[in-house]
């Protein structure tokens, strides 16, 4: 009998839990337990629509416990705080310390033993990296459904002021030079643009996209090359045309140093410092690992052995520091197994990337200003399923069964950035890339031109809406969920 513990019930952890339970069979002796501090699942991509008031929080979340009960998956509403990968003085099996946040046990702790562990804890939203950043400071966020609800409320007030004839400056973007998730800010800025137009107040609004990308269309993946009827174009040109068409200003290569009431301060790559007054600001935070500690059986601190300084967990990547020119697709992990432990995996945002994908840059003052690598939904789901399949094989065929593999240097990703959630007037900028991590040894442009595309139009919006319903159906483990790809 094997006990599998999955930390995190987001895209990667929830996917891992559902697939593992399906493969092991509901009535099997093996246990699958999910530990997560939130009682609800959130389809995070649709928080963008919550953030402009087109959807409410109930449209993007649902309670996890009934799904887990139905599927025979254990659920602890708790946050993991420490790992004991070699066991402790009482038991040689690995263990994880958790602190309850619900289920009537808030604040109490428990040590849960495991045979296999999946760390799918996602990001810590590091608002504290920039003074004044975030909903507890002076800017808004759409990272959680609650943050997005607050952003929508503030946007409504801004639109009211515009209707009353006032001019307003709205800033959307990245709240630190090392942020990731530029695609989300890009999508939000165009949704805001759409709302302002629908309200008939766009002419009085200054809309600014403030980003750590050195050029538009970088998206943390060093940009893309698209080919259309034999002509190649860059994602920079494609994106810049969208900005021009919709009158959205872009401030590039920016590291936000401080947010004050109504003023964002930032440094740019040329080393200059600037201040921009705003009436509405949605600025994403940089991400870090959630800060798990790790101990050996004697209680010695081995956190550094399992985790990178960023708090993300080390896996089977090549972490050797090397210059940009020497970065290779092969540096990226394939199995998500933690070195030294063939029963621990880290998937989704929780694993430590070997390096950036975007070219690293620093300002003239030496401040790092470059996007961190994105780990979007599709790769996160695929990694969760990959770890689940490896664990299944090891439970069924022994601990030496080969690991399944899924590298971001072979995986594609789709980013459908909607620009307004309306079936008739909505639109979307849809991008697909293959692979996420460019491989210049295989493709002259780093990516497969046949599978790396950018399209703009209403159909992209329909795709985004369909994905919203499809992924909620899948996450609720409804009929046929397993046939919906990650």
Ligand X SMILES: Cc1cc2nc3c(=O)[nH]c(=O)nc-3n(C[C@H](O)[C@H](O)[C@H](O)COP(=O)(O)OP(=O)(O)OC[C@H]3O[C@@H](n4cnc5c(N)ncnc54)[C@H](O)[C@@H]3O)c2cc1C
- Of all residues in this chain, which one has the CB nearest to ligand X in the complex? 10
Choices 7-15, 165-173, 275-283, 419-427 (CB under 6 A): range interacting with ligand X = 7-15
Q: Residues 290, 313, 370, 389: which binds ligand X (CB under 6 A)?
A: 290
Q: Residues 19, 45, 140, 431: which binds ligand X (CB under 6 A)?
A: 45
C-beta of 225 vs 376, nearer to ligand X: 376
The string over 303-330, giving b where at least 16 C-beta atoms fall within 10 Å of a residue's C-beta and e elsewhere, is eeebbbebbbbbbbbeeeeeeeeebebe
Contacts of residue 66, defined as CB under 8 A and 6 or more positions apart, other chains included, come to none
Provide the residue count of the chain. Answer: 486
Nearest distance from residue 143's CB to ligand X, in Å? 4
Distance from C-alpha of 300 to C-alpha of 303, rounded to nearest angstrom? 9
* CA quadruple 481, 384, 47, 40: dihedral sign: positive
Binders of ligand X in range 134-153 (CB under 6 A): 142-143
Strands (E), 85-211: 94-100, 109-114, 116-119, 124-125, 168-174, 205-210
C-beta of 123 vs 354, nearer to ligand X: 123
C-beta of 216 vs 436, nearer to ligand X: 436
Q: State whether residue 244 is helix, strand or coil.
A: helix
Binders of ligand X in range 426-455 (CB under 6 A): none
By CB under 6 A, residue 64 contacts ligand X: no
Binders of ligand X in range 220-279 (CB under 6 A): none
C-beta of 278 vs 351, nearer to ligand X: 351
C-beta of 38 vs 149, nearer to ligand X: 38
Q: Residues 21, 23, 79, 474: which binds ligand X (CB under 6 A)?
A: 79
By CB under 6 A, residue 189 contacts ligand X: no
By CB under 6 A, residue 288 contacts ligand X: no
| Torsion angle of C-alpha atoms 325, 174, 467, 329, degrees rounded to 10 | 10
By CB under 6 A, residue 390 contacts ligand X: no
By CB under 6 A, residue 8 contacts ligand X: yes
Q: Residues 74, 94, 122, 454: which binds ligand X (CB under 6 A)?
A: 122
Choices 119-127, 357-365, 427-435, 442-450 (CB under 6 A): range interacting with ligand X = 119-127
β-bridge pairing 254-260 and 249-251 = unpaired
Residue 135 Cα distances to 128, 147, 149, 284, angstroms: 11, 7, 11, 10
Binders of ligand X in range 156-185 (CB under 6 A): 181, 184
Choices 30-38, 318-326, 425-433, 444-452 (CB under 6 A): range interacting with ligand X = 30-38
Q: State whether residue 311 is helix, strand or coil.
A: coil
Q: Report whether the peptide linkage leading into residue 435 is cis, meaning its omega lies within 30 degrees of zero.
A: yes
Tokens describing residue 189: 């800025």
Q: Residues 348, 353, 426, 438: which binds ligand X (CB under 6 A)?
A: 348
The answer to whether 373 and 180 are in contact (CB under 8 A) is yes
Contacts of residue 138, defined as CB under 8 A and 6 or more positions apart, other chains included, come to 132, 259, 260, 261, 262, 281
Q: Residues 33, 38, 390, 407: which binds ligand X (CB under 6 A)?
A: 38
Q: Which residues here bind ligand X, judged by CB under 6 A? A: 7-13, 35-38, 44-45, 47-48, 79-80, 120-123, 142-143, 181, 184, 290, 348-350, 375-378, 380, 415
């Amino acid at each position: 009998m094997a006990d599998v513990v999955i930390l995190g019930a987001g895209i990667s952890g929830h996917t891992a839990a559902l697939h593992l339970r399906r493969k092991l069979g509901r009535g099997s002796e093996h246990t699958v337990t999910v530990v997560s501090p939130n009682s609800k699942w959130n389809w995070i991509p649709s928080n963008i629509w919550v953030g402009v008031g087109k959807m409410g929080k109930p449209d993007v979340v649902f309670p996890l416990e009934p799904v887990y009960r139905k599927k025979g998956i254990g659920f602890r509403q708790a946050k993991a705080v420490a790992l004991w990968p070699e066991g402790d003085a009482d038991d040689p099996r690995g263990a994880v310390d958790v602190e309850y946040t619900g289920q009537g046990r808030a604040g109490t702790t428990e040590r849960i033993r495991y045979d296999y562990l999946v760390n799918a804890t996602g990001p810590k939203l590091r608002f504290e990296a920039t003074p004044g950043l975030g909903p507890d400071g002076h800017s808004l966020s759409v990272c959680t459904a609650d943050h997005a609800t607050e952003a929508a409320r503030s946007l409504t007030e801004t639109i009211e002021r515009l209707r009353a004839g006032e001019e307003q400056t709205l800033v959307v973007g990245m709240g630190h030079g090392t942020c990731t998730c530029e695609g989300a800010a890009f999508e939000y800025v165009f949704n805001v643009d759409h709302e302002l137009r629908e309200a008939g107040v766009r002419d009085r609004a200054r809309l600014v996209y403030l980003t750590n990308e050195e050029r538009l269309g970088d998206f943390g993946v060093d940009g893309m090359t698209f080919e259309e009827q034999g002509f190649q174009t860059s994602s920079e040109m494609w994106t810049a045309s969208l900005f021009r068409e919709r009158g959205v200003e872009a401030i590039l290569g920016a590291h936000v140093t401080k947010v004050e009431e109504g003023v964002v301060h930032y440094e740019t790559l040329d080393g200059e410092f600037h201040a921009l007054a705003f009436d509405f600001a949605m600025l994403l935070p940089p991400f870090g690992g959630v800060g798990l500690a790790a101990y050996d059986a004697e209680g010695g601190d081995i956190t550094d052995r399992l985790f990178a300084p960023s708090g993300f967990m080390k896996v089977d990547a090549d972490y050797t520091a090397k210059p940009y020119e020497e970065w290779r697709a092969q540096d990226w992990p394939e199995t998500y197994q933690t070195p030294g432990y063939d029963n621990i995996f880290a998937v989704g945002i929780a694993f430590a990337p070997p390096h950036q994908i975007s070219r690293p840059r620093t300002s003239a003052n030496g401040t790092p200003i470059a996007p961190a690598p994105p780990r979007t939904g599709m790769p996160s789901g695929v990694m969760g399923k990959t770890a689940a399949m490896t664990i299944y094989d090891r439970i069924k065929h022994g601990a030496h069964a080969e690991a399944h593999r899924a590298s971001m240097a072979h995986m594609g990703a789709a980013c459908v950035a909607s620009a307004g959630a309306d079936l008739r007037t909505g639109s979307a900028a849809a991008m697909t890339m293959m692979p996420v991590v460019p491989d210049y040894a295989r493709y002259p442009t780093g990516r497969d031109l046949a599978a790396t595309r950018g399209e703009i139009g209403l159909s992209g919006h329909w795709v985004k809406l369909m994905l919203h319903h499809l992924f909620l159906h899948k996450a609720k483990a409804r009929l046929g969920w397993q046939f919906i790809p990650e």
